[in-house]
């Protein structure tokens, strides 16, 4: 887009009382973490669809994540999943990431794929299996120290499929006790984010099924436990922005796993189905920032399964959509909104929100990227780089012992 489009937008925003320089500074400092597993082969319960050039090892996943950061400038950290990303020398991984221009972010323990966890991990009726899960998570706490990670991200598949199958209250206590123990082992300055999920694979009940249960678990765990919101983990019609507002008000919103959904936990690219919802979530976050409610940084992470899209492009696309949603939220006329609310004027209040949402922020984002020394369109920058052709050629064949989904 031309410079004229940016100048016209900036002039229009200034006339509305928007501090454009402040908006640009906020967007430049906004960071989004990408997941190592988003660069490898993935699939559904029905099968795994392999893509030429897909990352097969942690080393290749870091390379791809570094490429996303290179073209977007806002993705300096990479979440890892253990044991998918397990290596012998994590100190070397930390150095390797730094050499690529990124760092290790959240560490995510996997306590759902091992056959031992068929009936649960930390809530399994068998104490030996509960200990096995605990040992796996504490191993990740140790890895956090080695890679200088500040976030332990926890999600559990624990639940049941039939009435009467389990003692739900007993399982609740097991989970509370286990999470409190893990919290006590966190490195100094680290946080534990507890994710929830409505259903799957437990279709009758899930031990941590919603934000309320996650909040209770965090409150029982300690001061460094907060709730992690995955946008796909809710029932149809749930108002996620209200959940976000409530957690912000309690100081308990720790982070996000950004994706999008049409039916259930689809793990689609952010903004592909309901971009207005993502925008409204950021409206609540910006409002909380303005009110001084946010005392600890929110961890913005992506969690997606790129089954039919090219993996790196899909990641870049989500990053761009998140930036756009955040940029629009920064343009809300808060004074006009407060005035409309004080008069119970639902029409004007919605018009204020819609005005920000319908603003074409692409010229603004492209100008910011240019200021940062980046190409204005990260997708085109990636396509023109030759990186994809290079990794397709380099990554032919299977690697023995390479971990990935399926």
Burial of 155 (0-12, 13-18, 19+ CB in 10 A): buried
Confidence of residue 400 (pLDDT cuts 50, 70, 90): low
**Residue range 219-243, pLDDT digits in tens:** 999 999 999 999 999 999 999 999 9
List all residues 6 or more positions away from 358 whose beta carbon is below 8 Å from its beta carbon.
Answer: none
**Residue range 305-320, pLDDT digits in tens:** 888 999 999 999 999 9
Average pLDDT over residues 330-346: 98
C-alpha to C-alpha distance for 317 and 143, rounded to whole angstroms: 30
**Residue range 240-254, pLDDT digits in tens:** 999 999 999 999 999
In this prediction the pTM is 0.96
Residue 203 pLDDT greater than 50, yes or no: yes
C-alpha to C-alpha distance for 231 and 1, rounded to whole angstroms: 31
List all residues 6 or more positions away from 355 whose beta carbon is below 8 Å from its beta carbon.
Answer: 333
Q: Partners of 401 in the beta sheet?
A: none
Domains of the chain as residue ranges with CATH: 3-109+231-394 (3.20.20.150)
C-alpha to C-alpha distance for 193 and 214, rounded to whole angstroms: 9
The predicted pLDDT at position 406 comes to: 47
**Residue range 247-297, pLDDT digits in tens:** 999 999 999 999 999 999 999 999 999 999 999 999 999 999 999 999 999
Average pLDDT over residues 201-206: 97
Residue 383 pLDDT greater than 80, yes or no: yes
């Amino acid at each position: 887009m031309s410079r004229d489009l940016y100048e016209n937008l900036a002039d229009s925003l200034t006339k509305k009382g928007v501090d454009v320089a402040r908006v640009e500074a906020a967007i430049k400092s906004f960071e989004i973490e990408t997941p190592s597993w988003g660069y490898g082969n993935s699939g559904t319960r029905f099968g795994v669809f392999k893509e030429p050039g897909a990352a097969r090892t942690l080393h290749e996943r870091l390379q791809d994540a570094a490429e996303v950061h290179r073209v977007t400038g806002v993705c300096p950290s990479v979440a890892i999943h253990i044991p998918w990303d397990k290596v012998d020398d994590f100190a070397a991984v930390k150095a390797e990431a730094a050499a690529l221009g990124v760092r290790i972010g959240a560490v995510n323990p996997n306590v759902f794929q091992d056959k031992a966890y068929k009936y649960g991990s930390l809530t399994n009726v068998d104490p030996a299996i509960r200990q096995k899960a605990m040992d796996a998570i504490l191993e990740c706490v140790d890895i956090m120290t080695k890679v200088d990670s500040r976030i332990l991200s926890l999600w559990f598949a624990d639940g049941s499929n039939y009435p009467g199958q389990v003692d739900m209250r007993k399982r609740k206590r097991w989970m509370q006790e286990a999470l409190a123990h893990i919290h006590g082992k966190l490195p100094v300055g680290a946080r534990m984010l507890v994710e929830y999920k409505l259903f799957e694979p437990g279709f009758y009940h899930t031990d941590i099924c919603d934000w309320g249960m996650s909040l209770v678990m965090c409150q029982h765990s300690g001061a460094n436990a907060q709730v992690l919101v995955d946008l796909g983990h809710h029932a149809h019609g749930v108002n996620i922005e209200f959940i976000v507002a409530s957690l912000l008000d309690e100081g308990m919103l720790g982070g996000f796993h950004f994706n999008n959904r049409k039916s259930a936990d689809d793990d689609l690219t952010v903004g592909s189905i309901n971009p207005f919802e993502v925008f409204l979530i950021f409206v609540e976050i910006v409002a909380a920032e303005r009110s001084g409610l946010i005392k600890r940084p929110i961890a913005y992470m992506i969690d997606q399964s790129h089954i039919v899209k090219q993996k790196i492009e899909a990641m870049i696309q989500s990053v761009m959509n998140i930036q756009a949603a955040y940029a629009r939220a920064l343009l809300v006329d808060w004074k006009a909104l407060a005035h409309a609310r004080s008069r119970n004027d639902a029409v004007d209040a919605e018009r204020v929100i819609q005005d920000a949402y319908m603003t074409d922020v692409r010229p603004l984002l492209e100008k910011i990227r240019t200021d940062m020394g980046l190409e204005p369109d990260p997708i085109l920058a990636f396509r023109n780089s030759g990186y994809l052709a290079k990794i397709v050629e380099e990554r032919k064949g299977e690697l023995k012992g390479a971990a990935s989904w399926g």
